[in-house]
Amino acid sequence: MEVIIQPSQDAANVVAARIIEDLVRRKPAAVLGLATGGTPVGLYKELIRLHRENGLDFSRVTTFNLDEYVGISPEHPASYHRFMRENLFDHVNIPAANINIPDGNAPDIPRFCAYYEEQIRRAGGIDLQVLGIGHDGHIGFNESTSSLASRTRIKTLTTETIEANQRFFAPGEPVPYHVVTMGVGTIMESHTCLMLAFGAGKAHAVEAMVEGPIMAMCPASVLQMHRQTIVVMDEPAASRLKKAAYYRHIYENKPDYQKLCPFPLV
């Protein structure tokens, strides 16, 4: 696990975007796993800037999103279909046919989940999976106690997650209890995981993920066993890491090419 601590969220997003840019320029038909929520918005803004100003070409890229709510329209203001259009897809040149987002309205959700897994396999697997971390250490919608070998499936959200996501819905509008999410095992099969973490509110989860024991109570902790995980965070998110000075020392003393791309991504 490569831990990259940056002075600000903006600086962290630049580092993360450069890692994705390097992958897409070297492998134009890259398969990207994408996340939603507040965490990746700045990253997507930087990717849009790179597309518009630096000619970063997404025309051969394929994407798979982590999750979607069950039972709301793709046009709903809080749906992840709409989130992705507004925050990325409407602003870059990824072909619509190459975009894959879980269908929370599928008539047979278990069958759809098996289909989604098959589509990932047919695409050759995910080259780089963007992740955020929940306050309790969840990734995707794999809540605490999720199986660390789980596949794409329907999940019931915790009260804490529902409360955290209420801000994306109209006042008084209920947040769905159920979601379709990639499983932890599905995420772990990605070639590279790019985890973003920002703010002091994520410090406890980051500490558990990076330096705590591997356990289902903190699903993100399994990333310690992933072959190529890059964790990019700001200083507040890193505030509880016991080895923070060592992580900074490692990054500051890397050759420039390794700072851009710590691992061979393809």
Contact 151, 213 (CB under 8 A): no
Catalytic residue (one of 2, 117, 143, 235): 143
15-19: long-range pairs with CB below 8 Å, 24+: 15/232, 15/259, 16/43, 16/46, 16/130, 16/194, 16/196, 16/232, 17/43, 17/46, 17/47, 17/50, 18/260, 19/128, 19/194, 19/230, 19/232, 19/260, 19/261, 19/262, 19/265
Pairwise CA distance, residues 34 & 248, whole Å: 27
Is 143 among the catalytic positions? yes
Is 204 among the catalytic positions? no
Is 136 among the catalytic positions? yes
Is 163 among the catalytic positions? no
Catalytic residue (one of 21, 127, 136, 234): 136
Catalytic residue (one of 2, 21, 46, 67): 67
Catalytic residue (one of 51, 138, 191, 226): 138
Just list the catalytic residues.
67, 136, 138, 143
